[in-house]
Amino acid sequence: MIISTYDADSLHRSFGIDLGEIDMGAVESMGVGAAWGRVAPGLHSDPHQHDETETFVIVSGRGDLNNTGTADLIFATFYWRDADRASRVAARTDRRRFGDRPVFAFSTPPTPNGGLHIGHLSGPYLGTDAFVRFQRMNGANVWHLAGTDDFQSYVAECARREGRSPAEVVAHYSAEIEETLRLMDIEPDHVTHTSRDERYPQALQAFFSRLVDSGRVTRQEGAALFDGETGQYLYEPYVTGGCPTCGSSTGGNICEECGEPNFCVDLVKPRPTSGTAEPREGTIIRYTLSLRELRADVLAHHHVGRAPARLRELANRIFQRERVDVALTHPSSWGVRPTQQDVPGHVIWVWIELAFGFIYGIESLGRKIGKDWRADAPQDDWKIVHFLGYDNTFYHSILSPALYKIANPEWTPDVDYNVNEFYLLDGDKFSTSRRHAIWGKDILGPDSVDGIRFYLALTRPETRRTNFTLAEYEKVVQETLVGTWQRWLNDLGARVERQYGGIAPDAGIWTPEHTAFLARLENRLGAMAGCLGQDGFSLNRAAETLHGIAEDTLRFARFEGAVADIEDWRDEGRTAIALELAAAKLLVHCAAPVMPRFAARLAAALGIAPPTEWPRTVTLVPQGTRVNLARQVFFGAPPAPETPQAALLSYLSGLVRETLQLPEAEQVASATLVALGIKSMQAIALQYQILERTGVDVTVEDLLGDRTVAQLAALIVNNTDNADSLAQVRKEAVGA
């Protein structure tokens, strides 16, 4: 028996309350710990998470871990780490920490000063989309919220460069961004366009006024940089220099390299981005926040949700500074002016809009779906999940929670941060201004979107910088998706046709290898849930796991193939086929969040329902289902953007679809015309049209031979000596 008496003097502060250990003696070797706890009146335990199982026994006072009474609340807690239970909870990634709460997943609002390139797409946009799709399959109340960050100074700078108004720039690039997301099969549930939303400016002004009314954000005179010649206020895109922390070349206010904010006057050898005059240092009165004073609140916030180590390390670095005074208004003609009249010519800094835009987005979504969610009264019940690049970490995870603490002190925001690093293109940073980019709109189409999504999932920079090359992408599509997945699925379809008349057989007799293979598929299902769930979200691992399903099954199929046609082993043979079909069905569900278009098409080919629910277990394709896998083309040859070959392939694919009356979305590039069912009369018609358009006479034998449509396109390009006609095809393809 263990006897422990409560002793108020032995307590220490932990999780916001007072705790004192209880010596559990021999029982401790069984993994059980215990402690006394005290909550003073009006206090509560700080939110925290751990995976121990814990029991509280209240000994005196009133309340739970919120002391609602007038005397101390004394309790004893007993906790143990039940490894089985912890692993069960971890595997059940569907609802942990989320429950029935509304979950708001945000992809960082892009600045509409350019389109979306595949560097953008690989990070927050693909991440949020796959995350939301997986959560939805698990029954979570989840929404993808997006927006455009219209009042960025970079928009005004782009407008100056392009000789049009900021509003025109916003309208143009917002439309392009929306179109690119659509091509990527990403459809957010709500999009906020800050410069075109009628309610927005007033709501933002009210948020800013709450910051000012708190007394924490005050008018302060501070040092600032001005153009030596024009006197223009220099910040963000208008100034460049060395980062005061890491020395890298950087713009004003944030360093993409080390993630730390700068204040422009502290840049090493600053210079204006246009003009040659030396900048001069002066002073200016702006509304300013002493961020350092909110250190404890921001760090406490990082205990609530998922805050990756690299984010916590950045916060630690920034708060080591003695002062971090952040100006929250800046002189500009583009943005929302505060209602306060004492900073004439200033706008509310756009990074306040980021923080406010999230809760405003929730309010707007609520209005649409009939929920009374309000930006001025955010709820502890809300679960927010952010997807962002490392260069935005300061704004999302340090500045925003500080602003929330001031504007809505009663709110405890619960936020998960999913941060990605930089994606490089051919070893160099993607750059909109230098045109060092591959634009989503140039490479995405119904034939290529699944390949792009898979390749970006596989290679996106989750824990380190990674590199995109077009050649590597094309290789992965050809070898992994076409050469491995599609080949297996086609071959499986051919065997089901030959041996079972195209109908899924029932499993018969199970061998030990069959049982082992099913167990392996179950493991893959569990692994996939771990990759896509909120605790360990990783699309790199998800893509690897998808490929693992295909590889496992190919290995199994090769092994079982030895007895496939032996009559004596017929009952075992149909079990093997039923299990291969089960693997294909598993691929449907596991791929759905990552490659939704492929998953839906594979489901249709397998004769099963579209994948709307995450499976609890691996199941067979029902016996008797008609399977149509043998001639499916799931993955088109990836077109290199804006090459003659890509343009011609796009033209030829369209022509083939038209001639054979195939649906618009049908992928034809890596199929032969014969496989697509061409008749010889149609081949002659096709030959004539190609000749007329390109001047190249492709023989009917070539058309009916074993070249794929993509290879035929290459053949035409290589044989043309009429550059004009090719240029015309290109022009039409680009214009189309």
CB under 5 A: which stretch of 248-256, 528-536, 554-562, 718-726 binds Zn ion? 248-256
CB of 246 or CB of 734, closer to Zn ion: 246
Map tokens 């598993």 to a residue: 586
Are 534 and 104 a contacting pair, CB within 8 Å?
no
Are 641 and 728 a contacting pair, CB within 8 Å?
no
CB under 5 A: which stretch of 90-98, 251-259, 293-301, 625-633 binds Zn ion? 251-259
CB under 5 A: which stretch of 222-230, 245-253, 357-365, 585-593 binds Zn ion? 245-253
Supply angle C-alpha 670, 674, 679, rounded to 5.
135
User: Counting contacts by CB under 5 A, is residue 243 touching Zn ion?
Assistant: yes
Which of 28, 72, 257, 391 touches Zn ion by CB under 5 A?
257
Q: What is the DSSP letter of 482?
A: I
Are 269 and 239 a contacting pair, CB within 8 Å?
no
CB of 251 or CB of 335, closer to Zn ion: 251
Structure tokens at 233: 């206020």
CB of 192 or CB of 393, closer to Zn ion: 393
User: Counting contacts by CB under 5 A, is residue 246 touching Zn ion?
Assistant: yes
CB under 5 A: which stretch of 257-265, 418-426, 430-438, 589-597 binds Zn ion? 257-265
Least Å from the CB of residue 431 to Zn ion: 18
Structure tokens at 369: 């779906």
Least Å from the CB of residue 245 to Zn ion: 5
CB of 267 or CB of 710, closer to Zn ion: 267
Least Å from the CB of residue 390 to Zn ion: 12
CB of 236 or CB of 416, closer to Zn ion: 236
**Burial degree of 9 (CB within 10 A; 0-12, 13-18, 19+):** exposed
Least Å from the CB of residue 147 to Zn ion: 27
Least Å from the CB of residue 226 to Zn ion: 23
User: Counting contacts by CB under 5 A, is residue 608 touching Zn ion?
Assistant: no
Q: Give the C-alpha distances (Å, rounded to integers) separating 77 from 26, 36, 170.
A: 17, 6, 56
Least Å from the CB of residue 273 to Zn ion: 18
User: Counting contacts by CB under 5 A, is residue 268 touching Zn ion?
Assistant: no
Gyration radius (Cα) of the chain, Å: 30
Query: For the residues of 631-696, what is the DSSP string, one character each?
Result: T---SPPPPPTT-HHHHHHHHHHHHHHHHTT--TT---TTSBTTTTT--HHHHHHHHHHHHHHHS-
Q: What is the DSSP letter of 395?
A: I
CB of 107 or CB of 262, closer to Zn ion: 262
Query: For residues 703 and 606, what is the distance between their CA atoms, to the nearest angstrom?
Result: 30
Least Å from the CB of residue 277 to Zn ion: 25
Angle of helix 512-532 relative to helix 570-591, nearest 10 degrees, comes to 0
CB of 257 or CB of 552, closer to Zn ion: 257
Least Å from the CB of residue 246 to Zn ion: 3
Least Å from the CB of residue 314 to Zn ion: 11
User: Counting contacts by CB under 5 A, is residue 245 touching Zn ion?
Assistant: yes
Q: One symbol per residue from 479 to 498: x for binding Zn ion (CB under 5 A), - otherwise; what is it? A: --------------------
User: Counting contacts by CB under 5 A, is residue 255 touching Zn ion?
Assistant: yes
| Identity of the amino acid at 330 | H
Own/partner contacts of 15-23, CB < 8 Å, gap of 24 or more, are 15/45, 15/46, 15/48, 16/43, 16/44, 16/45, 16/46, 17/43, 17/44, 17/45, 17/46, 17/65, 22/76
Chain-centroid distance, C-alpha 655: 36
CB under 5 A: which stretch of 28-36, 69-77, 247-255, 460-468 binds Zn ion? 247-255
CB of 245 or CB of 708, closer to Zn ion: 245
Bridging pattern class, strands 102-107 and 141-148: parallel
Total number of residues binding Zn ion (CB under 5 A)? 7
CB of 270 or CB of 361, closer to Zn ion: 270
User: Counting contacts by CB under 5 A, is residue 57 touching Zn ion?
Assistant: no
CB of 125 or CB of 390, closer to Zn ion: 390
N-term to C-term CA, the chain: 82
Which of 224, 258, 482, 603 touches Zn ion by CB under 5 A?
258
User: Counting contacts by CB under 5 A, is residue 256 touching Zn ion?
Assistant: no
Question: Which residues bind to Zn ion, rule: CB under 5 A?
Answer: 243, 245-246, 248, 255, 257-258
